[in-house]
Amino acid sequence: MMRGMGNMQKMMKQMQKMQKDMQKAQEELADQKVEGTAGGGMVTVLINGNKEVLEVNIKEEVVDPEDIEMLQDLVLAATNDALKKMDELTNNTMGQFTKGLNIPGF
């Protein structure tokens, strides 16, 4: 019976370490920045790991008052591109903790 308790304690310590490592990875992800682009780089959007838009840059040659809808579409596409890239970065970073584990809810 004591042997089982030692294994359980070891497993709990491993889970606590994994939890700390996951928290550290999440904090590091929050500091990451990803840029999304649209229109061949005519519009760029920079976001952070919390999925907050930090910058929107529009090249001067894109601005045509008669075609504001195209500009809006490019900003939307660049923002979605940046969000998709951050999701991929987050999944790659956090996926290392659940690889091979069968944890309900993850």
73 found inside a domain: yes
What are the DSSP E strand ranges found in 39-93?
A: 43-48, 53-58
Report pLDDT digits (tens) over 2-27.
566 778 888 888 889 888 988 888 88
54 found inside a domain: yes
How many domains are contained in the chain? 1
28 found inside a domain: no
pTM above 0.75, yes or no: no
Report pLDDT digits (tens) over 54-64.
999 888 887 77
Report pLDDT digits (tens) over 33-46.
999 999 899 899 99
8 found inside a domain: no
Q: What is the DSSP string of 7-46?
A: HHHHHHHHHHHHHHHHHHHHHHHHH-EEEEEETTTTEEEE
81 found inside a domain: yes
Q: 37 is in which domain, residue-wise? A: 33-96
